[in-house]
């Protein structure tokens, strides 16, 4: 439950990238398919690109994201490692790597990857969102809400940070904070798959 989330478009900047026009078009197509949640098609497009251009860090990164959405965590891990070896801007890659480790329940490795991501960019809300996920995996819900609140402070409209904060506060028996975050989640993502369940919980809390 804690791993469910909307596929969020992330900005992946590489300082210097030399890409042939045909490769650039194929990369753009793979990214577009990923954003449209057409993960099988995106996977095929990006795999084909990597066969032709094995050192394309952005293609490896987006293929890793696509595989995460399909819960192919071990292969995603390898792709993020590959992307990390070829880019000087590692925070998004390290976050992807942390997600792959979380999916495999390798929690110490996930923490190490998030520590490196935070060193690279301490203003990235996703670092603290996934620290929240790490806390939830460890059943350390106090640590989870502390991290999720920090993510929300950086990015107040991070719907799923509110959602997971609500879940964690419910476990911590803080109904006031649970209601606050669940209401924020519904305002930001009223049509999310979890919305009906959240509405039921809020009705029972009144």
- H helix intervals, the chain: 21-35, 39-52, 57-69, 73-84, 91-103, 107-120, 125-137, 141-154, 159-171, 175-188, 195-205
Q: Is 72:65 a contact under the CB 8 Å cutoff?
A: no
Q: How far is CA 16 from CA 50, 85, 86, 88, 123, in A?
A: 18, 14, 10, 9, 23
Per-residue model confidence (pLDDT) at position 36: 96
Residue 19 predicted with pLDDT over 60: no
Q: Tokens representing 72?
A: 């192919």
Q: State mean pLDDT over 134-154.
A: 98
Q: In b/e form, how buried is each residue of 144-160, taking b as 16+ CB within 10 angstroms? A: bbbbbbbbbebbeebbb
Listed range (27-31, 62-66, 82-86) with the worst mean pLDDT: 82-86
Helix axes 91-103, 73-84, angle to 10 degrees: 160
Per-residue model confidence (pLDDT) at position 189: 97
Q: State mean pLDDT over 104-122.
A: 96
Residue 7 predicted with pLDDT over 90: no
Q: Is 137:102 a contact under the CB 8 Å cutoff?
A: yes
The greatest distance separating any two alpha carbons of the chain, rounded to the nearest whole angstrom, comes to: 59
pLDDT digits (tens, 9 = 90+) for 189-203: 999 999 999 999 999
Per-residue model confidence (pLDDT) at position 17: 41
At 82, the pLDDT band (50, 70, 90 cuts) reads confident
Residue 4 predicted with pLDDT over 90: no
At 84, the pLDDT band (50, 70, 90 cuts) reads confident
- Give the other-Cβ count within 10 Å of 71's Cβ: 9
Q: State mean pLDDT over 76-85.
A: 88
Residue 9 predicted with pLDDT over 70: no
Residue 96 predicted with pLDDT over 70: yes
């Amino acid at each position: 439950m804690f791993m469910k989330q909307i596929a969020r478009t992330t900005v992946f900047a590489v300082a210097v990238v030399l890409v042939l026009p045909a490769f650039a078009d194929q990369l753009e197509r793979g990214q577009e398919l990923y954003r449209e949640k057409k993960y099988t098609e995106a996977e095929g497009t990006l795999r084909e690109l990597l066969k032709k251009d094995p050192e394309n860090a952005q293609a490896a990164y987006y293929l890793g994201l696509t595989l995460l959405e399909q819960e192919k965590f071990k292969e995603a891990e390898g792709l993020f490692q590959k992307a990390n070896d070829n880019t000087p801007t590692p925070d998004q890659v390290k976050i992807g790597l942390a997600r792959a480790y979380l999916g495999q329940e390798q929690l110490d490795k996930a923490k190490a990857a998030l520590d490196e991501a935070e060193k690279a960019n301490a203003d990235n809300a996703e670092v603290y969102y996934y620290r929240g996920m790490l806390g939830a995996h460890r059943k350390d819900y106090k640590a989870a809400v502390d991290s999720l609140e920090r993510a929300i402070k950086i990015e107040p409209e991070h719907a799923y940070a509110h959602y997971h904060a609500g879940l964690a506060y419910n476990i911590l028996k803080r109904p006031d904070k649970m209601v606050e975050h669940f209401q924020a989640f519904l305002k930001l993502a009223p049509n999310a798959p979890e919305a009906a369940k959240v509405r039921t919980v809020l009705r029972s809390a009144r």
